[in-house]
Chain A
């Protein structure tokens, strides 16, 4: 299990004055000793260290595994092309157990023990919210790939950025008009009862209202729930569409029980693929989803109009046309989200190059350089598509896909524009001191 008490955390072992003096003496001798040149000019040759806060265990583990694969693929390419500012990039991974408390500990560990330059890669919103204050206190840049609205809301701090994936508020705002026009006017929402779900709960209703539809019921489900039939009676009988967004291992049960409850004459379904990331869409029991629609950040299945950049990205990460691992067709990826890791790493590279980043003393410059970015063109570094970055709220905006599940695969039927998802910024991080 995780090391909650920090028994194995070397940073916490007692250090006596004598050992410090001994160590100092040894270090001094080492630096003075002739021929000891290793990293004497540390910043110019030592690798840039990126701490990857990874959900290796806990309910986010499937995402964590694919975030790791994507990260490794991107870093391999970056290093082959000469690294960042002429230095190789090294990824250091710590497992946060998809746990908010552990997340904050991991941030401290990166900053104090591994002495990484930055921290990157978190997905689950509870971990991001739990870790952000520590990142702010330690003044270490924290690039998340979380899609939660917490970064853009201004609730976090100047050291937290989300430059690789569109936030949930923009996502729901951009898909709402399509739902109202194509799926139905009376919508019942089913969402997880924590931060990520609240972004949906709070921002879908106003967006739908603007599009002429309405939410007639909102059903919050605890993220650890394993049985769902008990919630279904709360779905009003006149519901046209069930808007579902779920996370965690019980998603298959949710769909199966929905199918058993309604049979063939239930409402239409519109879901966020988050529910089924890393899950084979053709798993037994998921037949009920056939014909329903999903939001996807990046399409899981290879599409007819995929760009060369998208094809190259898919090949580099190692996913086949069905969005599963090329080495194991049963290992389905989290394609709708993990592109964000790839794109975030290229944004970090760009910002480090713009700021002439040399080491931890340049962290403030790195933040400012990231804030100064405005647009990312579609291409090998941004295979999912063009993006617009708002430096004031540290949030990127891109296009979203709506896909239909038919014949055992997801096909994109509508692409939203970047403008569809834009909202008025409610915060300005650039006024906070660095």
Chain B
């Protein structure tokens, strides 16, 4: 294949990765930014979204588009409810203590993973995409659905940005992130904000999973890679920064696509890890992060 089309394919693949990554990482970043909780179970909430998407589409049956739309709405809601329960029953009980929450979320990771294995099984199960369209380019064909993922993700990211910057809820979240105690002193129910943010972070992961599942199947171990990549993105972009998260996701996704296509996927992972190390050395708060208060 000639260089031009080859590069185009690499960039397209990279953008699909970026789109999903940005949503997943945004959830992780939000939870850390506002709550100072490192949610190690984030990848499992992602997996839960995918598994639920399979369950919902198979239950509804019929036209794949209807099942998919239902999954896109219901799966995040259920995952959000699970996260809310976890927040109330676990994180709140350990007082959001940074060390304790890491251990608690590791426990949560295993619980969710093993429950999925027990009730869903060890198989990878496919979810039909809402529409099947092959975009035929002169050099190669490409999945129309994959392109729509990029669009859907961009839409959701813009929506998140609007919520964060233009609504009262966003203002409250930002206030809590900026200074928890002062926010509380001004009558912000920090406790409820935490619960909401944790659920919202989980829902973002679930939406990303529902979007990706028609091209990658639901499997009970699928949460590991997204977790790792989300951490990489969040560290590079700066914890709690929406802009940083998006920029880092595109950077990691596209460079992963291009490097793994022209060189090797292993090299792409090596470079991403190296980048994390460099950022941690030279800009410990990430490209767009601010120093802690």
A73 at the interface (CB under 8 A from B): no
With A222-B265, A252-B126, A253-B216 already in contact, the answer to whether A263 and B141 are too (CB < 8 A) is yes
Residues of chain A within 8 A (CB-CB) of B117 are 57, 61
The answer, yes or no, to whether B96 is at the interface (CB within 8 Å) is: no
Q: Return the CB mask of B6-29 against A: 1 if under 8 Å, else 0.
A: 100110010011000000000000
Enumerate chain B residues within 8 angstroms of A278, measured Cβ to Cβ: 123
CB distance from A221 to the nearest CB of B (A): 8
Once bound together, how far apart are the Cα atoms of A224 and B215, in whole Å?
15
CA distance A267 to B210 in the complex (A): 32
Closest to B117 in A: A57
Contacting pair A62 B143 (CB below 8 A): no
Q: Is A113 an interface residue (CB 8 A)?
A: no
Q: Is the CB of A62 within 8 A of B123?
A: yes
Q: Do B141 and A250 have beta carbons less than 8 Å apart?
A: no
Answer whether A233 and B126 are a contact pair too, CB < 8 Å, given A222-B265, A226-B216, A263-B141. Answer: no
Chain B residues with CB under 8 Å of A257's CB are 143, 215
Chain B residues contacting A227 (CB-CB under 8 Å) are 13, 16-17, 215-216
Select B225's contact among A58, A59, A226, A252, beta carbons within 8 Å.
A226
Among the listed A230, A237, A248, A263, which residue makes an inter-chain contact with B257, where contact means beta carbons less than 8 Å apart? A230
Whether A225 contacts B134 by the Cβ 8 Å rule is no
CA distance A252 to B128 in the complex (A): 11
B162 / chain A contacts, CB cutoff of 8 Å: none
The residue on A at minimum CB distance from B226 is A226
What residues on A are CB-neighbors of B163 within 8 Å? none
| Contact of B217 with A253 in the complex, beta carbons under 8 Å | yes
Q: Which of A64, A225, A226, A261 has the most CB of B within 10 A?
A: A226
Contact B123 A249 (CB under 8 A): yes
**Contact flags (1/0) for B52-77 with A, using CB distance below 8 Å?**
00000000000010000000000000
Q: Is A261 touching B217 in the complex (CB atoms < 8 A)?
A: no
Q: A231 to nearest B CB, angstroms?
A: 8
Q: Verify if A415 is at the interface (C-beta below 8 Å from B).
A: no
Residues of A within 8 A of B148 (CB): none
Chain B residue with minimal CB distance to A230? B261
Residue B271 at the chain A interface, CB threshold 8 Å: no
Give, as a whole number of angstroms, the nearest-CB distance from B8 to chain A.
10
A380, chain B: closest CB distance, angstroms: 30
Q: Please tell me if the beta carbons of B217 and A250 are within 8 angstroms of each other in the complex.
A: yes
A220 to B107, CA, bound (A): 35
Which single member of A249, A253, A260 contacts B141 (CB below 8 Å)? A260
Bound CA span A218–B1, Å: 16
1/0 contact string of A277-302 vs chain B (CB within 8 Å): 01000011100000000000000000
A256: Cβ under 8 A from any B Cβ? yes
Bound together, the chains give a CA A283 to CA B128 distance in angstroms of: 9
- Complex CA–CA separation, A227 to B260 (angstroms): 11
Query: Which residues of B have CB within 8 Å of A237?
Result: 1
A113 to chain B: closest CB distance in Å?
23
**Chain A residue contacts of B113, Cβ below 8 A:** 1
Q: Which residues of A contact B215 (CB under 8 A)?
A: 227, 253, 256-257
- Among residues of A, the one whose C-beta sits closest to the C-beta of B16 is A227
Indicate with 1 or 0, residue by residue over A197-231, a CB within 8 angstroms of chain B CB atoms: 00000000000000000000000001011110111
Query: What is the chain B residue whose CB lies nearest that of A280?
Result: B126
Cα(A259)–Cα(B265), bound, Å: 22
Residue in B13, B113, B121, B217 whose Cβ sees the most chain A Cβ within 10 Å:
B217
B222 pairs with A226, CB closer than 8 A: yes
Of listed A59, A64, A225, A256, residue having the most chain B CB within 10 A: A256
Chain A residues with CB below 8 A from B124, complex form:
248-252
CA distance A227 to B17 in the complex (A): 9
The minimal Cβ–Cβ distance linking A297 to chain B, given in whole angstroms, is 20
Q: Is the CB of A283 within 8 A of B9?
A: no
When C-beta atoms are compared, the residue in chain A nearest to B2 turns out to be A233
Note all chain B residues with C-beta closer than 8 A to A65: 122
User: Complex formed: what's the CA distance from A261 to B266 in Å?
Assistant: 23
Residue of B nearest to A265 (CB): B141
| B21 CB, nearest partner CB in chain A, Å | 12
Given contacts A57-B117, A252-B126, A278-B123, contact A261 B140 (CB under 8 A): yes
For the complex, what is the distance from the CA of A297 to the CA of B35, rounded to whole Å?
55
B219 touches A (CB below 8 Å) = yes
List which B187-243 residues lie within 8 A (CB) of chain A.
215-217, 219, 221-222, 225
The complex places the Cα of A264 from the Cα of B64 at a distance, in Å, of 23
From B143, B216, B219, B266, contact of A222 by CB (8 A)? B266
The answer to whether B123 and A261 touch across the interface, beta carbons within 8 angstroms, is no
| B249-293 interface with A by 8 A CB criterion | 257, 260-261, 265-266
Complexed CA–CA distance, A59 and B217 (Å): 14
Residues of B within 8 Å of A253, CB to CB, are: 215-217
Q: Within residues 20 to 72 of chain A, which ones have a CB less than 8 A from any CB in chain B? A: 56-59, 61-62, 64-65
Q: How far is the CB of A189 from chain B (nearest CB, A)?
A: 17
Inter-chain pairs besides A1-B110, A57-B117, A230-B10, 7 sampled, C-beta below 8 Å = A56-B122, A61-B117, A249-B123, A250-B124, A260-B143, A263-B141, A284-B126
Q: Which 8 residue pairs across A and B have the least CB separation, nearest first?
A: A61-B122, A249-B124, A249-B219, A284-B128, A233-B1, A230-B261, A260-B143, A263-B141
Q: List 20 A-B contacts (CB under 8 A).
A: A61-B122, A64-B122, A222-B265, A222-B266, A226-B222, A227-B17, A229-B9, A230-B260, A231-B261, A233-B6, A233-B9, A233-B140, A249-B222, A250-B124, A253-B216, A253-B217, A257-B143, A260-B134, A261-B141, A285-B128
